[in-house]
Amino acid sequence: MNRREFVKKGMVGLAAAAAAHRRQPAARAGDSAAPTKPDKTGTEPRISGSFFDLIHVNWFDAAYWTDTCLHWGEASWRALIRDMHGIGIDTVICVSTAFWGRPLFPGYEKTVGLPIKFGCEDPLGACVDEADRLGMKVFLGAGVRGRVSQVRDYTRMQPPWPDVWFRWNTALAEALVDRFGKRKCFAGLYIPYEIDFNHEVHQIELYEKLIKKHFRPALGDVKLLASPGSLGTHPKIDELPKQVERTGINILAPQDYGGRAWKIDDAMRLVRANARALKQVGKSLREAGVTVWSNCELFNLKGDPSGRGACVPGPIERIVQQIEMQAPLVDKLICYQYQGIMNRRTDLVNIGHPSTDKLYRDYVAYLKKRFPGRFKI
């Protein structure tokens, strides 16, 4: 289940999920330790990549930042990228460059449509430019909720799929590559639709058609990143490498589901399930040519009167466990996300729940202790 569906079920579903996990047998002694490091794999125990968004797809998730960011000037967007770079984040992923069929950047009105207006003329261009200046890498989301009005049941993306959905998303991807593809920072495209490999075969077919029939002929060998739901619930995890290879995805960064339960023990059971799956199929994925990352969820979900949930900072105690458990298993640890959840609050980056700044300070303290002298923060 992806984050979009999870939040939609509300906080009642969250409590039920947590209760279900509490009914599971207690973990064995040593079960909370990091899984054994496979040969020739692993990364440093720190977050080196983060998502960010220009407009968040879910106004409930992002209640503590997206309204403010919409009115930001260019200086604030550049400051956001600089601040991420300052704590060792070298890769940023823009979740989406379009919203409800409208692009979030100017210049391609004839092929993609009229752009949404922000507080500055071109926030995406400012972010890419700042990342380029700092020597970072950038992935750009190729159109979450693009042409959604023409897709029956966007959440599950069940067929039939209208051809215009593929054509428009391909035009958007072509525009991104045309404008940013020659920048040194450009690393590839991120596909924002959060496929679940574990239940819906038609979602695999959707990816296969989008990538192999539309993206590859138009874009060539541009790297494609996806961040599916946790692998921990996959009923036949050994089949995953062939499923991913079938889609044509280059980089797989499953969500670890660390943000799906308030109690640390409950959350870590979910993270541990994802880690076990990564350990089991990581080698096979790499042999199939797929780079393996993991997406650490930094948030908790705080309920609101409507029954929905807003992302607020999770506890550093849990996040450190997430990092240390998964780092030995993957090539890179990314997170959801610095912006609005773990950012340093300043006059320029004035977003996030009041505890956002505390999580930033806690994480900086972890970096300084774990990597003495490395980060000048």
DSSP 143-192: -TTTTGGGSSSTTTTPSPPPHHHHHHHHHHHHHHHHHHTTSTTEEEEE--
> Under a CB-based contact definition with an 8 Å cutoff, are residues 245 and 207 in contact?
no
Higher per-residue confidence, 30 vs 146: 146
Q: What is the mean pLDDT of residues 240-261?
A: 95
Could you read off the pLDDT of 61-79 as tens digits, one per residue? 899 999 999 999 999 999 9
Q: Does 195 score more than 90 pLDDT?
A: no
Predicted local confidence at residue 257, as pLDDT: 96
Could you read off the pLDDT of 270-285 as tens digits, one per residue? 999 999 999 999 999 9
> Under a CB-based contact definition with an 8 Å cutoff, are residues 367 and 374 in contact?
yes
Q: What percent of the chain has pLDDT over 90?
A: 70
Predicted local confidence at residue 159, as pLDDT: 79
Rounded CA separation 197/1 (Å): 10
Alpha helices for the chain (secondary structure H): 3-8, 10-22, 66-69, 74-86, 123-134, 163-180, 201-208, 216-219, 240-247, 264-287, 316-326, 356-370
Predicted local confidence at residue 146, as pLDDT: 52
Higher per-residue confidence, 18 vs 98: 98
Q: What is the mean pLDDT of the chain?
A: 87
CA terminus-to-terminus distance, the chain: 37
Could you read off the pLDDT of 298-343 as tens digits, one per residue? 999 998 787 788 999 999 999 999 999 999 999 999 999 999 999 9
Q: Is the pTM of this model over 0.75?
A: yes
In the chain, the amino acid numbered 48 is S
Confidence of residue 36 (pLDDT cuts 50, 70, 90): very low
Q: What is the mean pLDDT of residues 51-57?
A: 92
Predicted local confidence at residue 28, as pLDDT: 36
> Under a CB-based contact definition with an 8 Å cutoff, are residues 253 and 295 in contact?
yes
160: left (phi over 0), alpha (psi -120 to 50) or beta: beta
Confidence of residue 233 (pLDDT cuts 50, 70, 90): confident
The tokens of 138 are what? 């950038």
- Quick one: which of 22, 133, 11 has its CA closest to 77? 133
Q: Does 148 score more than 80 pLDDT?
A: no
Question: What is the CATH T-level fold of the domain 40-370, as seen in this structure?
Answer: TIM Barrel (3.20.20)
